[in-house]
Amino acid sequence: MSDDNPHSASGSSQKSWAAKLLQVFAGEPKSREELVDLIQDAEERDLIDNDTKEMIEGVLDVAELKVRDIMIPRSQMVTIDIHQSVEEFLPIVIESQHSRYPVVTDNKDHVEGILLAKDLLSFGFNFTDETFSLSEVMRPAVIVPESKRVDVLLKEFRSNRYHMAIVVDEYGGVSGLVTIEDILEEIVGEIEDETDHNDDEKADIKRLSASKYSVKALTTIEDFNDHFNSDFADDEIDTVGGLVAHGFGHLPQPGEEINLGGFTFKVTSADKRRIQQLQVTPPAPTATSEESQG
């Protein structure tokens, strides 16, 4: 007797999928490494796709990160001085196209508040120093320590509905800033909007998040060293792909990763002959390098 229920096939498929997924995790992994292996196995068995696998791995990575690992360093912060006139700070806002700006006094160690670009819209296009005051428009700055866990900060971002925090070191000096977007990009990859430029799509090295980069395997080691201030030898091997393949001792498959010179290289694309694309995580900045950026 045939089954006339149109939903029976899909229902059976969903039940089968759920059963397979439960079977994968039935072993109750005892460590993070075992859990990662199970997730990898789930992708290989087509229970989840590669994007889902990378997102799950991103969540696991975030649970082990500190704010210092993903923050935008002090040297790259775009700030506005509270004493600047409208004519002085408006070009900064227009050129950088950020949504939020730390407002400082004298230097970056004295953050007075945060200016939201959208708050400027209510003043129209012809506002002047007589009709506008930074000190009255800016919002309170949230301060967090470098050592704060990223997953904890994400919960605070969500519950308190703020999107940027100023990061300070153990001595109270400003070492950078972090946004909710920086955290989300660690999980889902780069988040682009209509203001992002596509000119770098052909670039050999492309930033994915605050601590991850996409690097073409054919990138020369010389260019890699120039970009990351690293010192990999290029006298025998010319490309980053060759460097990684030599480090593995075999042609790696997508998903395999290796640590070389403090850098984590993860193969994201490869065929039967060569590596094509890599995800690179540079070493976390040391306290000394963070202080030197000031």
- Confidence at residue 27, expressed as pLDDT on a 0 to 100 scale: 58
- Looking at the structure, tell me whether residues 101 and 179 fall in a common domain: yes
179 and 79 both lie in a single domain: yes
- The more confident residue out of 251 and 128 is 251
Are residues 277 and 170 both part of a single domain?
no
Encoded amino acid at 163, one letter = H
> What six digits make up the tokens of 58?
């991103």
| Cβ neighbours of residue 75 closer than 8 Å, sequence gap 6 or more | 293, 294
Same domain flag for 211 and 278 = yes
Strand pairing report for 263-270 and 275-281 = antiparallel
Give a three-class secondary structure readout of the chain. Answer: CCCCCCCHHHHHHHHHHHHHHHHHHHHCCCCHHHHHHHHHHHHHCCCCCHHHHHHHHHHHHHCCCEHHHHCEEHHHCCCEECCCCHHHHHHHHHHHCCCEEEEEECEEEEEEEEEEHHHHHHHCCCCCCCCCCHHHHCECCCEEECCCEHHHHHHHHHHHCCCEEEEECCCCCEEEEEEHHHHHHHHHCCCCCCCCCCHHHHCCEEECCCCCEEEECCCEHHHHHHHHCCCCCCCCCCEHHHHHHHHHCCCCCCCCEEEECCEEEEEEEECCCCEEEEEEECCCCCHHHHHHCC
Q: What global pTM score does this model have?
A: 0.57
The residue from 134, 158, 187 where one domain ends is: 187
Task: Note whether residue 82 is domain-resident.
Answer: yes
Residues 236 and 283 occupy one common structural domain = yes
The answer to the question of residue 192 being in a domain is: no
At residue 107 the predicted structure's pLDDT band, cuts being 50, 70 and 90, is confident
Q: Is residue 240 part of a domain?
A: yes
pLDDT above 90 covers a percentage of the chain that reads 33
Could you report the per-residue pLDDT of 191-222, keeping only the tens digit for each?
655 444 444 445 789 887 777 888 999 899 99
The reply to whether 77 and 167 lie within a common domain is: yes
Claim to verify: residue 180 and residue 249 sit in the same structural domain: no
Residue 279 is part of which domain span?
A: 199-287
Q: How do residues 138-161 score in pLDDT, each as one tens digit?
A: 999 999 999 999 999 999 999 998
The answer as to whether 7 is a domain residue is no
Same domain as 58, residue 121: no
Asked whether residue 4 is domain-assigned, the answer is no
Where is the domain boundary, 137, 161, 187? 187
Is the per-residue pLDDT at 15 higher than 90? no
Question: Do 27 and 97 fall into the same domain?
Answer: no
Tell me the pLDDT tens digit for each residue of 160-194: 988 999 999 988 999 999 999 888 888 877 665 54
Residues 6+ apart with CB under 8 A from 71: 146, 167, 175, 176, 177, 178, 182, 210
Average pLDDT over residues 253-267: 92
pLDDT in the model for residue 121: 82
Is position 156 within any domain?
yes
Q: What is the CATH number of the domain that holds 126?
A: 3.10.580.10
In a domain, 8, yes or no: no
How many CA atoms does the CB half-sphere of 251 hold within 13 Å?
Answer: 8
Q: Based on the structure, what is the number of domains in the chain?
A: 3
CA–CA gap between residue 225 and residue 234 (Å, rounded): 10
**What pLDDT, on the 0 to 100 scale, is given for residue 288?**
43
Q: What is the mean pLDDT of the chain?
A: 80
pLDDT at 6 over 60: no
Q: What is the dihedral of CA 226, 231, 234, 240, to 10 degrees?
A: -70
pLDDT of residue 293: 41
Give domain status of residue 6, yes or no: no
Mean pLDDT across the stretch 7-11? 47
